[in-house]
Amino acid sequence: MLDKLAAVETRYNELAELMGSPEVTGNPELLIKYGQEHANLGPVVEAYRRYRAVLTQRSDAKEMLADDLDDEMKAMVREEIEDLDNERAELEEKLRLMLLPKDPNDDKNVIVEIRAGAGGDEAGLFAADLFRLYTFYAESQGWKTSVLSQNESGIGGFKEIIFQVTGKGVYSKLKYESGVHRVQRIPQTESGGRIHTSTATVAVLPEIDEVEIEIDPNDVRIDIFRSSGPGGQSVNTTDSAVRLTHVPTGMTVSCQDQKSQLQNKIKAFNILRARLYDEEQRRIQAEHGAARRSQVGSGDRSEKIRTYNFPQTRVTDHRIGHSSYRLESILSGEIDEFIEALTKADEEEKLKELAEA
């Protein structure tokens, strides 16, 4: 670990020198690139330097014990050594986590797709609940949300809703939300008071730019049609809705919520790139047998990840066995406790895999 940390510090110092060179200061793109890398390495270097300082202080304190000290002074030195040992252990754990391979998508914006599953109209209402949950959570984080496409059900729910979330570190927090969410409650449409179980599927896709996924225009069929749902004054008056069909995969994307055909086309291509990237990542994982023992970070769409139980006001994440009895607060977007627990579980699994490698 120390060799890796030394290499990080060396690179950090190199970047500082590079950013001061005429070649880089005169190249805005390169300056931004090096600046971001330097900023990302900063917390690691700061922790590493503090770790070295703790080791030095501990060594000095040990030497003091060999001197001719009175009992009171020796007790003070031993107490200092104990404090330094505790800090050293904390720093070692912190540095091990910092050295874990970072998900390259963690800093990206996301496209979230929520689809009603089993349960008819109730599933659509639950999909709407999840949409509000993530909208509230995004607002609490200072992120922005924008609806890209929606297909409403008849009673205020969604058969499907696709929206974009932009901000700092969005994917790093929302990536654990992919999977099947289940609700157990008495539906509004149930007159007999029976508890029903319904599901909705959440997919969190990192937003991919054109450089990362290049789409051959010849592979995409573009159809233009008249909008048939919410989207502004131009709905039902102009042919502004866009449907893309990716011929090699058969994947289709429709977007009609923007007022202009061009805006809908741009949004549709953003969704298509994200889906194609997601499919490619899944294919690579399957080829390399990358099904980890823990499913915490896999985002497996078919996996039941969380249950929202209304009669018991309980929300349970099945991947880590974490339950909370704050159902109403969670539906209002207060999901930090789940995200933090999932992040910790994922880090522990990665540390275990690293130790066994």
**Which pLDDT score, from 0 to 100, does residue 233 have?**
42
- Could you write out the three-class secondary structure of the chain? CHHHHHHHHHHHHHHHHHHCCHHHHCCHHHHHHHHHHHHHHHHHHHHHHHHHHHHHHHHHHHHHHCCCCCHHHHHHHHHHHHHHHHHHHHHHHHHHHHCCCCCCCCCCCEEEEEEECCCCHHHHHHHHHHHHHHHHHHHHHCCEEEEEEEEECCCCCEEEEEEEEECCCHHHHHHHHCEEEEEEECCCCCCCCCCEEEEEEEEEEECCCCCCCCCCHHHEEEEEECCCCCCCCCCCCCCCEEEEEECCCCEEEEECCCCCHHHHHHHHHHHHHHHHHHHHHHHHHHHCCCCCCCCCCCCCCCCEEEEEECCCCEEEECCCCEEECCHHHHHCCCCHHHHHHHHHHHHHHHHHHHHHC
**Which pLDDT score, from 0 to 100, does residue 116 have?**
95
Identify which of 234, 235, 231, 240 has the alpha carbon closest to the alpha carbon of residue 262. 240
**Which pLDDT score, from 0 to 100, does residue 232 have?**
43
**Which pLDDT score, from 0 to 100, does residue 130 have?**
98
**Which pLDDT score, from 0 to 100, does residue 213 have?**
83
CB 143 within 8 A of CB 232: no
**217-287: which CATH topology?**
Double Stranded RNA Binding Domain (3.30.160)
**Which pLDDT score, from 0 to 100, does residue 236 have?**
47
Q: Domain 2-98, what architecture?
A: Up-down Bundle (1.20)
**Which pLDDT score, from 0 to 100, does residue 326 have?**
97
Domain boundaries, the chain: 2-98, 110-207+309-356, 217-287
Q: How far is CA 137 from CA 29, 145, 173, 336, in A?
A: 33, 10, 11, 9
**Which pLDDT score, from 0 to 100, does residue 147 have?**
93
pLDDT less than 50: residues of the chain: 230-236, 291-295, 299
d(CA 174, CA 144): 14
Among the four given CATH numbers 3.30.70.270, 3.30.2130.10, 3.90.920.10, 3.30.70.1660, the one describing domain 110-207+309-356: 3.30.70.1660
**Which pLDDT score, from 0 to 100, does residue 275 have?**
94
**Which pLDDT score, from 0 to 100, does residue 330 have?**
97
Tokens 């959440």 found at:
202
